[in-house]
Amino acid sequence: MRSSPAIHLSEDQKRIVWRLRTGGPASRTELARDLGIHNGALTRLSRELIALGVVEEQDQGERPARGRPTMPLTVSDRAGYAAGATVHPGWLELSLVNFAGEVVARDIEPIESDDPADFAEAVGRRLRGLAVSHNMLRSRFLGLGVGIPGPAIIARPNHWWAVEWLRGWRDLDLAAFLSERLDLPVWLQNDSSAAALAEYYTGSLIRVCDSALVLFIGHGVGGGVIAGREMFVGEYGNAGEVGRLYPGGGRPRPSGIDLLATLRAAGAEVSSLLEVEDCLRTHPGVIADWIGRAATQLELVVNAGLVWMDPGAVVISGALPLPVLDGLARHLERSTRTFMTPEEPPHLSPPLVKASTLGSSAVSIGAALLPIHEIGRPGSNG
């Protein structure tokens, strides 16, 4: 579901914001040239955006001695903020992100219930606390995004087939339910697609490439796709459901729950992904073997993505410790370079492959970016 954003921009205003977000600070002259907008019109549009708090002049430190200096424009954080929330097995995560795409706060709280009413109560309570502690005004709130572990249900808008441990979220209009309970505009998205948006915005990829594949390894394994600087969700909203390539039936999968099962089989007393960090010290060999096997399984997804999409980057994200994500990324980087053999035509090149530093927070950060992305994106309804 996409609610109506709190800030409404004209198409030319969105083009300016998007150019600054993707290309970095720029002078009015540069913006007029790059966007094909007359200088006079650009001056008027920039004045309107500054008044809205969406754009601001960037402080350049010491100014030239003569004449009015050229002040580059940049996306401002004053336009407002948004929140993102998601649930992992055993805990809820909440993030606040300002309009410039900067993370203001992150928060976690234990939760075991699969009742969406309990989720709404916890989100509302924690959001009020964070807003007070960070001096966030309700009038500047742009919306709440929710990352949902599970696919959208075809032909049933705003209904999601959440994973088994969130079965209480199934069979209801989740957007309407949460919006009514919280009295907030609500956006919904699959958790892996939300993570892809976070990795693209906060990892500087937005400045260096137009497309990216993101693998998110949480309790399960999923994927997100950025294409043409857009979050690509597919015809029915379920692009990136790569977990379908790894059927269960007791067979090993490259997932967080499989890593937990592997560690338990080796004698580790571990019940949550939050506890895997301790096993890096107590069971390093077990984790190293799992990384090798899981990365080999993930080669199928990555190599298929390379030939279908030709992405600029592949990001390994998830609710696992950074050394685990980094190990997977190193293996897959070697794999992509082998896949793109020297005998291939010279126009084929392996993408940037990197491990995320956001951890499990990628989902809540990406969910918070949903309304912000909608407001400043050309062609959107915002």
What is the SS3 assignment for 139?
helix
Q: Which amino acid is at 68?
A: R
Nearest one of 365, 379, 376 to 8, comparing CA atoms: 376
pTM as predicted: 0.90
Question: Beta strand pairing status for 352-355 and 81-88?
Answer: unpaired
Question: Beta strand pairing status for 55-57 and 212-217?
Answer: unpaired
Domains of the chain by start residue, with CATH:
11-60+70-75 (1.10.10.10), 81-195+363-375 (3.30.420.40), 208-356 (3.30.420.40)
Output the CA torsion sign for 17, 10, 233, 161.
positive
Q: Quick one: pLDDT at residue 5?
A: 54
Q: Quick one: pLDDT at residue 58?
A: 85
How far is it, in rounded angstroms, from Cα 116 to Cα 74?
Answer: 39
Q: Quick one: pLDDT at residue 237?
A: 85
Question: Beta strand pairing status for 55-57 and 73-75?
Answer: antiparallel
Nearest one of 103, 53, 104 to 74, comparing CA atoms: 53
Entry field: residues in the chain: 382
Q: What is the pLDDT along the chain (382 residues), one digit of tens a residue?
A: 445 556 889 999 999 999 999 889 999 999 999 999 999 999 999 999 999 999 999 876 545 445 555 789 999 998 899 999 999 988 999 999 999 999 999 999 999 999 999 999 999 999 999 988 988 887 789 999 999 998 988 888 889 999 999 999 998 999 999 999 999 999 999 999 999 999 998 877 888 899 999 999 998 999 999 999 889 988 888 899 998 898 777 788 999 999 999 999 999 999 889 899 999 999 999 999 999 999 999 998 999 999 899 999 999 999 999 999 999 999 999 988 777 665 656 566 788 999 999 988 999 999 999 999 988 888 777 6
CB 248 within 8 A of CB 258: no
- Dihedral angle over CA of 316, 322, 328, 329, nearest 10: 60
Nearest one of 319, 317, 338, 341 to 329, comparing CA atoms: 317
